[in-house]
Structure 1
Amino acid sequence: MKITNLSPVLLVAFMLFFACNNSSNQEEEELVEDKQMESIEPSATMLWKTDTSFVGSESALYHPEKDIIFVSCGNTDAAKKDGDGFIAILNPDGSVNEMEWTTGLNAPKGMAILGNSLYVTDIDEIVQIDLSSGDIIEKYPVEGAQFLNDAATDGSVIFFSDMKDNKVFQLADGEYEVIAENVPSINGLESYNGTLYGLNGEGLIKFDDNRGYEILTDEVQGGDGLVILDEDTYIASRWAGEIYYIDGDQVTKIVDTTPEKSNTADISYIPEDKIIIVPTFLKNEVAAYQLNLGSDN
């Protein structure tokens, strides 16, 4: 457009009009881009998968200081004291660091690191393992335990669940006690900022100081592995082959391996790279998935 013979007043008016119009268009474009980003749902893409050497792989635990992944294996019979349980170590790229780092277990499941020890649930006892050597330091039998499952820590004590007896315990200085009862099918545990969370038959739950709990969402009932990103954001797995990304009230299924009958047991997470580590249990493998988010959160 060619503009000639305009008075200074009209010229300024035209300039303001075009400036406002360009600004408005830019704002509209930015709004569209923001909406497009918001519409992108979280997803996960497989990065690698091991061979089938990880028999009965039930739980994974990333150790950031050593940059390795512990995997509890040997759950050929998840409730039988058959002595075939072991802890393997993987590198973050899926290569084997040490296949039989600790042996002599039965059916090891959940793990937690406290101090220089790895604590592992093993049917009806907690096994303490030296992080430096892989040697078993101590075993803590739990009287009346039926099916000890996951383990977690707040940095001072070890929490662990009995899925069949619907109880949560804590272990401190070699002594254990019940801290919550009547928690239906309690499995996954995780501690975040001094608060204990869990996955049970009712969904994702948050424990209080009075041995009670509230249900945060009932869309992931019967969950297994739990990762907490912040107070409103979680990753939760269900053993049959599903992994969910939970962001407040939004629950998105990001992995579904049920058609392949590949389990998604007790997962772990490498936060720097947003990688989910997944034991496949009956498939005897460990897989890694890249978490993809619609924004940089």
Structure 2
Amino acid sequence: MNNSLLIATGAALVLWGCGGSQKGDTAETTMVTPQLTQVWKTDTVFTGSESTLYDPSADVIYVSSGNTNAGDKDNDGFISVMNTDGTIRDLKWVEGNLHAPKGMALLDGKLYVTDIDEVKIIDVASATIEKTIAVEGAVFLNDVATDGQQVYFSDTRAGNIYALAADGSYTIISENAGVNGLECHDGHLFALDGEGLKKFSKDGEYTQEVINTDVTGGDGLVIINDSTFVASRWHGEIFFIRGNETTVLLDTQADESNTADIGFVPDQKLVIVPTFLKNEVAAYELAY
């Protein structure tokens, strides 16, 4: 791992000169050492809280739970709705016909959720599962992402990334061992897998580029901009990636508190962390 930012933890700011000031024709711009500060944490009201997703149109956070036995079809899964201050609006907003829901993505008023070997499509307005798509050969479906037109989802144990069409058909677009976290930004798909963080581009076929090898086996992914990312590992680590620098933001492994599929509230710079086996959701303010 690149340790240059870790070594600098004793200094809060890094300063450099750039043009435009009245004194010596230079001005100072500051770069803050990235850090997380806990803002709130819920009670242990979830069961295997695995994924969080912020909905800017409603200013709420969705939470997928029921992952104590993450591969069992036991019908104990549910989706919750939370406010951004940590209060719970509806603990079991959608339940029934959900087993171990994991990743989520919103597109055109629908919430797409992976559930072991199926993708469930929830109509947000009516809070009902309106369609279930069985995925042939699926082993452990995990994260979901959308670029506003296309929905993508991953199968961690099979090592596949799928593209889902509007008619419910799907195709495997890439095979990547241990692939989990997905996110889209500026027309590109990004993925966390056993090799690190990858960027996918489509020009007829999908091509991939490895852009970070420090965070292998990652779970959740937040994209701040083209070169700035926040990534989590399930075991209890959250990383900040800026260019070629990687910083450990949070390590809760000693507390056996997981950091699963994280979400992000941009206006408040809140990283939303589902703690999985701790059955909580925590929020941390990100400074960077």
**TM-score normalized by structure 1?**
0.86
Q: Match of 2:36?
A: 44
Shift of 1:27: 5.1
Whichever of the two has the greater Rg, that structure is 1
Q: How many equivalent pairs are there?
A: 264
Percentage identity across paired residues of the two chains:
51
Distance, in Å, in 2 between the alignment partners of 1:208 and 1:195 is 6
Which residues in structure 2 correspond to 1:221-236 (within 5 Å)? 221-236=216-231
| Higher strand proportion | 2
SS of alignment partner, residue 246 of structure 1: strand
State the distance in 1 between where 2:154 and 2:256 align: 26
Alignment of 1:182-193 (within 5 A): 183-193=176-186
Aligned to 1:158: 151
Of residues 63, 66, 77, the one that matches 2:69 is 77
Tell me whether 1:211 sits opposite 2:206 in the alignment.
Answer: yes
Is the counterpart of residue 67 in structure 1 residue 59 in structure 2? yes
Given that 1:202 and 1:218 are in contact with CA atoms closer than 8 Å, whether structure 2 keeps it comes out as yes
Determine whether 1:178 maps to 2:175. Answer: no
Post-superposition offset of 1:194 = 1.0
CA contact (8 A) 1:41 1:252 kept: no
Moved over 6 A (4+): none
Q: Please list, as runs of the form range in 1=range in 2, the aligned pairs for 1:1-297 lying within 5 A after superposition.
A: 34=29, 37-38=30-31, 40-104=32-96, 105-172=98-165, 173-181=167-175, 183-209=176-202, 210-293=205-288
Distance 1:76 1:133 in 2: 27
Distance in 2 between the 1:222 and 1:238 partners? 7
When normalised by structure 2's length, the TM-score is 0.88
Instruction: Look up the match of 1:19.
Output: none
Q: What's the CA shift string for 1:202-222, capped at 9, x where partnerless?
A: 111111323331110100000
Q: Per the alignment, in what secondary structure is the counterpart of residue 206 of structure 2?
A: coil
Higher helix proportion (structure 1 or 2): 1
Q: Match of 1:55, as an amino acid? A: T
The whole-number CA distance in structure 2 between the counterparts of 1:270 and 1:140 is 29
C-alpha separation in 1, matches of 2:82 and 2:24: 48
Quote the residue 1:18 is aligned against: none
Q: Which runs of 5+ in 1 are unaligned?
A: 1-23
Q: The residue matched to 1:211 in structure 2 has which SS?
A: strand
For residue 220 of structure 2, give the secondary structure of its aligned residue in structure 1: strand
Aligned-residue Cα RMSD (Å) equals 1.6
Secondary structure of 1:174's aligned partner: coil
